[in-house]
Amino acid sequence: METLVIGIGGNAISRPYSEWVLSRGAGMERVAMGIAEASKGRRLIVTHGNGPQVGEELERNERASSQIPELPLYQLNAETQAVIGTLLEKWLLKGLERLRINKGACTMLTHVAVSGNDSGFSHPTKPIGPFMSAKELAAERKFGKFNYIHNKRGYRKVVASPRPVSILEYREIFELSKHNIVIACGGGGIPVIRDGRSYRGADAVIDKDRTTSLLAGQVGAKRMVLLTDTDYVYMDYESKTNALRSVRTRKLKRILSRFEDGSIRPKLEACIDFIENGGREAYIGNIFHLKDILAGRSGTKIMG
């Protein structure tokens, strides 16, 4: 039976995330139906990002710190895993029932080991939270203790983003996928560092696409899909022109520098890693077009 790993981008679900909290969730109901349908005859594992959501939680912690003790960033990763996971699970169960697919859905809180010597700790690069104006940034700096980046959309805080080394629960995830759609590695996983015979939490946010690629390799998947808010990878993202419909890793590595760091490039790098570590095909496409992506009618296909 094929094992398929699907990664949902944090930015792609930021708007549905707000709707979930208000118990509307129309966007994610549609996404969940597509995922449920794709689970027919397959083991299916779903990962998701949390960049916007963990940033919001961090801001809440900062603003409430005079009244309530702040939680460390790795625990906020765990919180958003649970919140997004339980809401996504609800919609998946509805989709499975509607399609009469005899499977369950479950969320696995997932810890991902990183190296304490990773350069990501000394050079924070992972954008989290909402974009801010200059005025909002000034107010944010009263609470924040972070570095910030700036582009034409505004200012955004950045945090450490070490590379994932291993997924602690990958065997349990694979076992659960026999009879369930498993939601795992949310937000790239809860980052931990080996400490003797145990682990300790690390204040960082791991790139979800890198973790998805690592997980796909550890569970032996041959195909991986990264869902985002665009139909294709575009050479010119602003004008949505010159779409890449299929590309081999050899060519992709030659043109990788032409893509903006921190947006689509991590997805492309994750796909290259997946293919070079035993994967057969990787796809990047629209969160609402999963069926067409798997059928080869939409999305960018990446091959060895």
- pTM for the structure as a whole: 0.88
Q: Which segment of 18-27, 113-122, 175-184 scores lowest on mean pLDDT?
A: 18-27
* Average pLDDT, integer, range 174-186: 97
* Average pLDDT, integer, range 299-303: 96
Instruction: Give the whole-angstrom CA distance, residue 137 versus residue 50.
Output: 21
Res 47: pLDDT = 97
The two tokens of residue 284 are: 């990047």
DSSP secondary structure letters along 50-71: -HHHHHHHHHHHHHTTTTSPPP
Q: Is residue 172 part of a domain?
A: yes
Res 123: pLDDT = 87
* Average pLDDT, integer, range 248-253: 94
Number of alpha carbons in the 13 Å side-chain half-sphere of residue 25: 18
Q: Is residue 151 part of a domain?
A: no
With H, G, I as helix, E, B as strand and everything else as coil, classify residue 197. Answer: coil
Res 89: pLDDT = 93
DSSP secondary structure letters along 226-277: EEESSSSEEEETTTTEEEESEEEHHHHHHHGGGSPTTTTHHHHHHHHHHHHT
CA angle 85, 86, 89 (to 5 degrees): 85
* Average pLDDT, integer, range 232-256: 87
Residues present in the chain in total = 304
Q: Which segment of 122-131, 199-208, 222-231 scores lowest on mean pLDDT?
A: 122-131
Asked if 97 and 29 touch (Cβ cutoff 8 Å), the reply is no
Q: Is residue 44 part of a domain?
A: yes
Asked if 89 and 217 touch (Cβ cutoff 8 Å), the reply is no
Res 63: pLDDT = 79
Partner residues linked to 181 by β-bridges: 44, 105
Q: Is residue 239 part of a domain?
A: no
Q: Is residue 51 part of a domain?
A: yes
Backbone angles phi, psi at 58, to 5 degrees: -65, -40
Which residues are identified as catalytic? 10-11, 126, 208, 267
* Average pLDDT, integer, range 29-37: 91
Res 193: pLDDT = 97
Res 26: pLDDT = 56
Go through 33-60 and write b for each residue having 16 or more CB atoms within 10 A of its CB, e for each that does not: bbbbbbbeebbbbbbbbbbbbbbbbbbe
Res 261: pLDDT = 66
Q: Is residue 294 part of a domain?
A: no
* Average pLDDT, integer, range 147-153: 81
The domain containing residue 89 runs over which residues? 2-111+164-221
Instruction: Give the whole-angstrom CA distance, residue 212 versus residue 192.
Output: 17
Res 19: pLDDT = 44
Number of domains present in the structure of the chain: 1
* Average pLDDT, integer, range 189-203: 94
Spell out the residues 6+ positions from residue 139 whose beta carbon is closer than 8 angstroms to its own. none
Res 24: pLDDT = 43
| CATH number of the CATH domain containing 107 | 3.40.1160.10
Percent of the chain with pLDDT over 70: 91
Instruction: Give the whole-angstrom CA distance, residue 112 versus residue 208.
Output: 11
Q: Which residue has the higher pLDDT, 22 or 277?
A: 277
Asked if 28 and 69 touch (Cβ cutoff 8 Å), the reply is no
* Average pLDDT, integer, range 229-258: 87
User: What single letter denotes the amino acid at residue 207?
Assistant: D
Q: What is the mean pLDDT of the chain?
A: 88
Q: Is residue 145 part of a domain?
A: no
Q: Is residue 284 part of a domain?
A: no
- Say whether pLDDT at 295 is over 70: yes
